[in-house]
Structure 1
Amino acid sequence: MFQVKRLLRVICLPAVALVYLPLATAQHGDHDDETGDDASRLTDVYLPPQTAAIPERPAPLFEWGNGFLEPGELKEPIRLPTGAIWSPNFIVWGTARSGLAGRSNNNDNAGEWANRLDLFAQARLSPTERFVIGLRPFDKNGVFSGYDFDGENTTDGFNLDVQTLFFEGDFGEIFPKLDREDSRALDFGFGIGRQPVNFQEGILINDVVDAITITRNSLRFGGLSNFRATALFAWDEIEPGGEGEDPEGGMLGVLTAADFTDSYVEVDLLTTFSDNPAVGDGLYAGVGATQRLGGMASTFRANASLALDNNSTAIDNGLLLTSVLSWVPHHTHDNLYVGSFLGIDNFTSASRAPAAPGPLANIGILFAATGLGTVGSPISPQGADVIGGSVGYQQIMHGGRSQIIYEAGLRVATDDQDDNTIAAGARYRKAIGQRMVLTLDAFAGNDSIDDAFIGGRVEISWSF
């Protein structure tokens, strides 16, 4: 009897399916209809590009030649005797920032209105060759044009100093006739002039210096998917430890990065030298590794400095260890992160600009200076003889048009200095149109110097 029932199931179930499927198809629409209205299939009817949801291109302040990221026909290029093909264009762009910031504690109150303008012009000859010039006319050496509410006076950082001026290109692209088969490894990138230099996420060096760099990229060996090496020589605008420019200083460096199967590894070595005995010479090294650990993104870094002459606030001996772990909670587009650090002795950066954030800026928003005004970060970003960390949650809202970050942080001195800080804060950012961003900051905490403190900031930025 059991075998008979089993046989009936085998025969009847396919038969029922054959009867039901045509009925279902007739009820919900023909899968092979001409218009292809069924969502389960691709339509046979031509549809033009659906561009209604794509915003218009926000054009730069000024442009000449082929428009930047503009659709349309390209203008006739220029063919050089070297074999290079150039399609020159010229654009002017920048970012204007204006903000109010304040901080209050038992000993002091600070409040200011500060302004900053980053203005750039670029003459682009090809995808690999360009001239860039940049000005910051509203701030100089950490002084921002605006108003100091505590001192009840205006502040003036106006200047027309050239902050950025460099040319970069690729030797193989400028002289392609030297290697028609692209087999002689002549693709050396280079840059010369006053250019930004940032390595180890700004811990080892974060400044704009007069330098020449030569880079060899896209090297593959030993199982690496890519290896990049850069040689650097700088001769001016060097600011060891962020303690001001050393007009008698210079810098040499070798900076490398390798893409392994499971990790991206950076190994950098720099040395500074000076005829000024008050500054002396220094040696700097940085190692960083970025990878996935299970469902987490992770970055670990070790940066060290060594004074080859006398120790000073500009060049000193020290080791700074940092780590940042982050992951996306399930069913969200948010970001949860944990940062930690340990500073042994007094690590100093090879060169750091006055408005650049400190070595601990990447630990979290409580450690990161804004680069606008003199009201500093709630927790000191310096890494001398300290241990601490942060935990934060970044909530993405409105399709990425706004976000809010909640964070708590701690910094504890490991030497005899009574310099401990604990704080909590939040940052809200909202895009306004295509060019403007509103930022609101609020924080509160307690430190061993000023006891309890509170503060906040509001900023509007406009990119053009």
Structure 2
Amino acid sequence: MLLIKMFSRRVNTLIFGLAFSCLLLCPPGLAANGQGEKQQPPEQETVPEGRAVLSFYPLTDKAKIAEHRLSDKVIPYPANPVPRLEPLMELGDDFLGHGPIKPGIKTPFEQMLQPSFLLYGQFRSALQSYDAEDREVVQWSTRLDLHGDVKLSGTERLVFSLRPLDNDKGEDTGYIFSSDGDEEHWHDQTNGKLTQLFFEGEIGEIFPRLDPGDNKTWDIGFSVGRQELKVQDGILLSDTLDAFGITRNSLIAAGLPNLRLTGLYSWHDIDNPFAGDTSPGRLFGLLTQADTAWDNTLDFDMIYVDNDKGANAWYLGLGSTQRIGTINSTFRINTEIPQAEDSAALNQGTLVTAELSGAFAHSDDLWYFNSFLSFDDFSSAARSRDAGVELANIGMLFSPVGMGQYGVPLGDSIADTYGAVAGYQHFFGGIGSQLIVELAARSSMKSERKQDAVGVGLRYQKALSRQTLLRFDTFFAVKEKQQSAKGVRLEWLLKF
């Protein structure tokens, strides 16, 4: 009934707005009366905006309410529906399906639940050869990501994830043909460990009685459990940890049409980037994102890590995303500040990144140019083993593939370094087939470190069907005072 009232009020508001606009904007002849005389324009009236519209011209006539009631009759879609991709398993209403929705279940708090379950994910299988850093490996590697989504309503759900073919140490199920002179052997890392298990919801939807008119500040989202988190595009934090987060969205302030605030607390499974193990410390965070009147999106994030080993530190990140003419751009500055200046476990550092991208005229092809500058030795507040270095988001040559022992071409320490990545993405007759060519270079600001390197990478991927993808990667890199690095891999991916 509330939905009907809201709908009818919006219809009346729309009709009134159209009539009011016609009186103000139509030519004088159209606003004349029957005697050919021009009418005087009506006095300006204030039209309610936002939530105030809900109480504008309320309907009380039952006949009018029935007239605007949504029909129960099924109306066929005028075009042929696109066949949907079915998940591996689904219970309840079809995901992205069509037709009548099953009746819901009303809770004692008057929330309407429509439970459903989805099981989906992807399977990856790759033959790969990697030769760098005095290490050579040829292997067949596999990875399976499974995700279960127990959906209770449009805002509440329970999510779990598994990676049953590999572990958090970077070991996976497959076959090693050669590895530093070792004999061929099969390695089995099958397991049933949950990698994610969390619940998320919104307080105002779980307890509708708190805000029957939907005009208060109870639109507060929260999540609790083991979940994957990325902050500042994975630079400041990229880890799966046990955490509780609470978010207040759609806040409005001067010059900020939309502001989001998130409080974060993590108590376990925080991967320690400086010690290389899992620390029993605690993590506190305040994450903010705002759309501004300057047509950009600002991210300002603060994280504090309280570590039982005494390695306490602040991590701050500031980012701005906007368009400069036809160019997409993102600029970020992230810094690490140890609480104790003489801490032997932590190093102070700052990482500055700039990302630019755009499209070529009269073409679907894209280009990108990303650069970075690292002062001292910056590290993330928390970083999982397979997340790669802090620069994993700026290009292929700095990003891990996430399978087996295939390394990161230019994934050395970023302490006191600077560098850039230039790439070109070409599409062959649509998005189903594409080629990416990338050139990257990095150098140290301290000549004694001898960390200069340059590399070129190539990736070709082609969709074999709506669910399968074939991907080919290769790279070649030259590093100062080290042997050249090279790698090649062929991957088959199945999404379900």
Q: TM-score, normalised by structure 2?
A: 0.80
Change (3 A) 1:109 1:181: same
The aligned amino acid for 2:172 is: F
Check if 1:122 corresponds to 2:149. yes
Kindly indicate whether the alpha-carbon contact (under 8 Å) linking 2:124 and 2:494 is maintained by their aligned counterparts in 1: yes
User: How does 1:369-408 map onto structure 2 within 5 Å?
Assistant: 369-380=400-411, 382-408=413-439
Shift of 1:177: 1.1
Mapped partners of 1:272, 1:387: distance in 2: 27
Is 1:446 matched up with 2:484? no
- CA pair 323-258 structure 1, distance change in 2 beyond 3 A: same
1:243/1:120 Cα in 2 relative to 1: closer, same or farther (>3 Å)? farther
How far apart in 2 are the matches of 1:219 and 1:230? Answer: 12
Measure, in 2, the Cα distance between the counterparts of 1:188 and 1:301: 28
Kept in 1: contact 2:269–2:280 (CA 8 A): no
Out of 283, 286, 289, which is 1:254 matched to? Answer: 286
Amino acid at match of 1:77: G
Of residues 166, 169, 172, the one that matches 1:144 is 172
Q: Aligned partners of 1:206 and 1:282: how far apart in 2?
A: 16
Give, in angstroms, the shift of residue 243 of structure 1: 4.3
Q: What is the aligned partner in structure 2 of residue 75 from structure 1?
A: 102
**Is 2:327 aligned against 1:327?**
no
Q: Which among 198, 207, 211 is matched to residue 179 of structure 1?
A: 211
- What amino acid sits opposite 1:402 in the alignment? S
Distance 1:308 1:157 in 2: 39
Give CA deviations for 1:287-323 in whole Å, capped at 9, x if unaligned: 110000111000001011122245456x321000011
**Deviation per CA, 1:160-192, whole angstroms, max 9, x where unpaired?**
111100000000010111111222201110000
How far apart are residue 248 of structure 1 and its match?
A: 2.1
Q: Identify the residue that residue 88 of structure 1 maps to in structure 2.
A: 115
Contact 2:457 2:476 in 1 (8 A): yes
List aligned pairs for 1:178-257, cutoff 5 A. Answer: 178-241=210-273, 243-257=275-289
Conservation of the 8 A alpha-carbon contact between 1:106 and 1:453: yes
Equivalence for 2:372:
341
Moved more, 391-400 or 294-303: 391-400
Gaps of 5+ in 1: 1-46
Q: Against the structure 1 CA distance between its residues 96 and 312, is the aligned structure 2 distance closer, same or farther, given a 3 Å change threshold?
A: farther
Q: Between the two proteins, what is the percent identity of the paired residues?
A: 37
Report if aligned partners of 2:238, 2:387 keep a CA contact under 8 Å in 1: yes
Q: For the Cα contact (< 8 Å) 2:286–2:303, is it kept in 1?
A: yes
Q: Which residue in 2 is equivalent to 1:458?
A: 490
Quote how far apart the aligned CAs of 1:120 are. 1.2
- SS of 1:299's equivalent in the other structure is strand
> Which residue of structure 2 aligns with residue 43 of structure 1?
none
1:118-149 alpha-carbon deviations (Å, 9 max, x no partner): 11111100111000111111111211221232
Residues 105 and 132 of structure 1: CA distance in aligned 2, closer, same or farther (over 3 Å): closer
Deviations 1:222-246 (A, max 9, x none): 1222111100000001012274443
After superposition, the Cα gap between the structure-2 partners of 1:49 and 1:183, relative to the gap in structure 1 and judged at 3 Å, is: closer
Q: Is the 8 A contact 1:360 1:382 kept in 2?
A: no
1:36 aligns to what?
none
Match in the other structure for 1:284? 315
- The equivalent residue for 1:7 is none
* CA distance, structure 2, for counterparts of residue 303 and residue 176 of structure 1: 40
Structure 1 residues 106, 93: CA separation in 2 closer, same or farther (over 3 Å shift)? closer
Aligned with 2:79 (options 50, 66, 69): 50
Contact kept? 2:272, 2:279, Cα under 8 Å: no
In the alignment, the residues of structure 2 paired with residue 439 and residue 124 of structure 1 have an alpha-carbon distance, to the nearest angstrom, of 33
Query: C-alpha displacement at 1:109, in angstroms?
Result: 2.2
Please give the alpha-carbon distance, in whole angstroms, between the structure 1 residues aligned to 2:366 and 2:412: 22
Structure 2, unmatched stretches of 5+, are 1-75
Specify the SS of the correspondent of 2:246: strand
Provide the residue aligned with 1:14 in structure 2: none
Q: How far apart in 2 are the matches of 1:185 and 1:336?
A: 43
Equivalenced residues, count: 413
Offset of 1:432 from its aligned partner?
Answer: 1.7
| Aligned residues: CA RMSD | 1.7
How far apart are the structure 1 equivalents of 2:321 and 2:336?
22
**Cα distance in 2 between the residues matched to 1:200 and 1:255:** 10
Would you say the 8 A contact 1:270–1:284 is kept in 2?
yes
* Deviates most, 103-112 or 236-245: 103-112
- Deviation, 1:363, is 1.5
Find 1:158's aligned residue among 171, 190, 195: 190
Which string of whole-angstrom CA distances, capped at 9 and with x for unpartnered residues, describes residues 252-282 of structure 1?
00000001131111000001112224xx212
